[in-house]
Amino acid sequence: MLLKIIYSSILLLSIFVLLIIYNIASKKNMPYTIYFKRIVIMAIVALASNIVIAFSTKVIVSDIAYCMYFASLDWLILALTGFVTSYSGYFKLIKNLTLPTVLIFVADTIFMFANIFFHHQFEIYEFYDVSGALFLLTKPLPLYHIHLAIDYISVAMCLIYLIFKVVKSHSFYKIKYRVVIGSIALIIILNLIYMVFNLTVDFSVIFYALAVTLISFFTEKFIPVTLLRKSIDKAVNEMDSGLIIFDIDDNCMYVNEFIKKHFEIDEKACLITEEPVSVIAEGKSLKDVDPGQFSYIKHPHIKELKDRHYKFTFNRLLDNAEHYLGSYIIVDDVTEDYLIMQALEAAKEEADGANASKGNFLANMSHEIRTPLNSLLGMNEMILREAKEDNLREYAENIKIAGNGLLSLINDILDFSKIEAGKMSIVTTYYDIHKILTDCHNLLGQSALDKGLKLTFDCDEKIPSILLGDEMRIKQILSNLLSNAIKYTIAGSVTVKVWSEPVDDTHIILKISVTDTGIGISKENVGKLFDVFQRVDESRNRNIQGSGLGLAITREITTLMNGNIGVVSEPDKGSCFTASIPQEVINPAPRGPFSIERVRPEGIYKERFTAPKAKILIVDDVPMNLKVVQALLKKTLINVQTASGGDEAIERCLYEHFDLILMDHMMPAPDGIEAFNRIREKGVNIETPVIILTANALAGVDKLYLDMGFTDYLSKPVKGAALEEMLIKYLPKDKVNN
């Protein structure tokens, strides 16, 4: 009796363990979990059946309990088969064999219960041991052997599936299947021992609980954790970066294969010979180092490659409560990036040099072209002032038009250089849109009239009267679009339309459209219109002059003002360019109807002022330029003195006082800047206004000259009106007669 109690206690403990495992398995969501839970249930039934058998006093109860025991083994093995096939990934096999296998096991269970009273499968008889304890034993019969065969065939199939997986799997994953094979083999061996030796008590059933526990532990805990650790270790060691992990006391705990390969390692201490931490921590504890610090270093101790460059990125390891646990360093081989950066820096230096060379070239080109152009237009202005014959004045007017066209081309190139250099800025002022329209009409109206074109300006009466924006650039946009339309329109009309769309109480979108009846643009060429130096349909436009910069500059200026420009065009029917530019409203009152303010013909030149008591000095190394300025100022009666270079100007300014100095920039040493600085150092002209004359019209030169201390800036070619305006502005007021 004591043996039965001990036996039953072990079985109850096993049932308790299985219930715990079932609860754990219920929380899992793996494909094989449902089969594993069935194994646990059947194992519990088998254990409970054995308890009933041990304490049963009636044969019928023992028979039913035996049937329950054998049936539970049937269904445990069926669940085991499902578990193994699912665990091994044979999902298609499960689908194909589930129905016939279930039918076989159902039939076996039915026959088992049906034959209790016929003893066709097994026979129960009593047995008393030496202590007098009663046991019920089974006497195997032929059908019982068939029952065992079904079970063992199923178990053999499970083993075959698992062994096949072990053979086919990567060695890394063989452990996943070996543990299950071992657990199944344990049950088979114990069951065979029970049967071969015809033991009094079937202890093999106890090991069902042990096997299920082992399978549960290894499949749910040990194997996943082991595989995860191995996977992480493999992944970390195959990284293209190094990993160094430190504990809370800054002791190195781990380095991956990258570190071992690239650096000299002290294997015992697991430290890098030339400690990278010292580069980052600078003697401080790692927990005091700010995350993300890194440094590029060139490590001398390289096994395979020399002159490599590394980046060390540091970070702290913290728990959920932000407590410091340790730290780690990621080491990246940035040699390629380093070399690319060096190449980029070299390319940048080369590009900067090329840009500087281009800038110098443009400055020199500007100077070389503007210098003779200054003489040409200056002398031509004198012809216009003094010529009495109509034919001479007509010739001079043609020279003026051609010269201004050349000057416009130079200005386009220099404007583009400013845009490329990022030095073109927007200067906002209050302006009246009617004035811009009037200026553009007066500038280009004659060109349209000469071609017989109808030029129409249509300005919305409701447009605000005063706006805030870059008046000069808006005028440039309109004049570029208008001149382009006139240029490419042979007959018909050109219409300028201006209106506004409100954004809020203080802002509008200024809309400017220019529509022509010109030659138009094909669809495939519309996208090229705003490209630099691009002229479309060259075969049709070969007789039309142009640099191909106007529209590119117009688009860049529009973009610079946060606007946009578009075009709609059709070959032989014309084009419509529309620019949209955000502007601020200063006075929202409607501007009213637009009317052209006609400019009176120039007629006979009349000087704006006289200043016989004023004395100025003109400094230029080109004699023709000196003559031009002298001629332009002849009727003002100013006492004009000249100096043919910087040295002569400096010498004269030491003892002779001038009311104003016009200084050319590009002269042989000393140039205009050096001469200006030396005049400012000593002599009687330290406070005299100095206006620099220059053919350099590149981006930012006006600010550059003003920052140097020059009073003002006058660009060549010098126009008479601009020169007179400058003199009125800076000559002593008491010496100027208006």
- Mean pLDDT over 715-725 rounds to 83
Rounded to an integer, what distance in angstroms lies between the CA atom of residue 693 and that of residue 509?
39
More confident site: 138 or 64? 64
Who's near 534: CB < 8 A, 6+ residues apart? Answer: 528, 548, 552
More confident site: 519 or 227? 519
- Mean pLDDT over 314-338 rounds to 82
Rounded to an integer, what distance in angstroms lies between the CA atom of residue 366 and that of residue 696?
6
pLDDT confidence bin for 275, thresholds 50/70/90: very low
Q: Between β-strands 574-590 and 507-516, what pairing exists: parallel, antiparallel or unpaired?
A: antiparallel
- Mean pLDDT over 525-548 rounds to 56
Tell me, what's the pLDDT at 303? 45
Bridge partners (DSSP) listed for residue 712: 691
| Amino acid in the structure at residue 685 | N
Looking up tokens 């060429």 gives 525
pTM, two decimals, is 0.43
Tell me, what's the pLDDT at 542? 46
Rounded to an integer, what distance in angstroms lies between the CA atom of residue 716 and that of residue 410?
12
Backbone phi, then psi, for 245, in 5-degree steps? -115, 135
| Amino acid in the structure at residue 665 | H
pLDDT at 396 over 70: yes
Tell me, what's the pLDDT at 322? 81
Least confident stretch, 157-161, 649-653, 731-735: 157-161
Rounded to the nearest angstrom, the gap between the alpha carbon of residue 679 and the centroid of all alpha carbons in its chain is 54
**Residues 574-594: tens digit of each pLDDT:** 899 999 999 999 999 998 898
Q: Between β-strands 241-246 and 324-333, what pairing exists: parallel, antiparallel or unpaired?
A: antiparallel
Tell me, what's the pLDDT at 439? 81
Top-confidence range, 49-58, 340-349, 401-410, 626-635:
626-635
> How distant, in Å, are the alpha carbons of 168, 526, 531, 587 from that of 567?
68, 8, 14, 31
pLDDT at 133 over 50: no
Top-confidence range, 18-32, 505-519, 539-553:
505-519
More confident site: 86 or 485? 485
Q: How many CA atoms lie within 13 A of 550 on its CB side?
A: 19
Least confident stretch, 2-16, 264-278, 664-678: 264-278
Tokens of 709: 């201390």
Long-range contact set of residues 125-133: C-beta below 8 Å, sequence gap at least 24: 127/200, 129/200, 131/1, 131/3, 133/1, 133/3, 133/4
Tell me, what's the pLDDT at 277? 45
DSSP structure class, residue 737: B
More confident site: 47 or 213? 47
276 within 8 A of 294, measured Cβ to Cβ: no
pLDDT confidence bin for 711, thresholds 50/70/90: very high
Rounded to an integer, what distance in angstroms lies between the CA atom of residue 275 and that of residue 251?
12
pLDDT at 640 over 80: yes
CA nearest neighbour of 482 among 510, 522, 452, 442 = 442
Tokens of 629: 């300025």
Rounded to an integer, what distance in angstroms lies between the CA atom of residue 545 and that of residue 484?
10
Least confident stretch, 54-58, 373-377, 420-424: 420-424
Least confident stretch, 173-187, 306-320, 575-589: 173-187
Tell me, what's the pLDDT at 293? 56
Provide DSSP, 346-372: HHHHHHHHHHHHHHHHHHHHHHHHHHH
Tell me, what's the pLDDT at 142? 62
Rounded to an integer, what distance in angstroms lies between the CA atom of residue 298 and that of residue 135?
83
639 within 8 A of 594, measured Cβ to Cβ: no
DSSP structure class, residue 639: E
- Mean pLDDT over 604-623 rounds to 86
Tell me, what's the pLDDT at 383? 76
> How distant, in Å, are the alpha carbons of 370, 372, 411, 696 from that of 716?
6, 10, 11, 8
Q: Output the average pLDDT for the chain.
A: 76
367 within 8 A of 666, measured Cβ to Cβ: yes
Least confident stretch, 70-79, 125-134, 182-191, 697-706: 125-134
Tell me, what's the pLDDT at 169? 67
Rounded to an integer, what distance in angstroms lies between the CA atom of residue 170 and that of residue 180?
17
Tell me, what's the pLDDT at 493? 92
Who's near 264: CB < 8 A, 6+ residues apart? Answer: 272, 273, 274, 301, 303
Rounded to an integer, what distance in angstroms lies between the CA atom of residue 177 and that of residue 163?
8
- Mean pLDDT over 335-364 rounds to 74
Tokens of 556: 């860049």
pLDDT confidence bin for 278, thresholds 50/70/90: very low
Cα separation of the two ends of the chain: 140
Strand order in the sheet with 712-715: 639-643, 615-619, 660-664, 690-694, 712-715
Rounded to an integer, what distance in angstroms lies between the CA atom of residue 274 and that of residue 312?
13
Looking up tokens 């008591």 gives 613
**Residues 51-101: tens digit of each pLDDT:** 787 777 676 777 777 778 777 777 777 777 777 777 777 666 666 666 777
Rounded to an integer, what distance in angstroms lies between the CA atom of residue 604 and that of residue 498?
36
pLDDT at 563 over 80: yes
pLDDT confidence bin for 385, thresholds 50/70/90: confident
- Mean pLDDT over 164-192 rounds to 70
Tell me, what's the pLDDT at 19? 83
- Mean pLDDT over 699-724 rounds to 81
CA nearest neighbour of 327 among 335, 318, 340 = 318
Q: Rounded to 5, what percent of the chain is helix, strand, coil? A: 55, 20, 25
CA nearest neighbour of 200 among 368, 50, 362 = 50
CA nearest neighbour of 490 among 513, 535, 533, 520 = 520
Tell me, what's the pLDDT at 172? 59
Tokens of 18: 């299985």
- Mean pLDDT over 191-216 rounds to 66
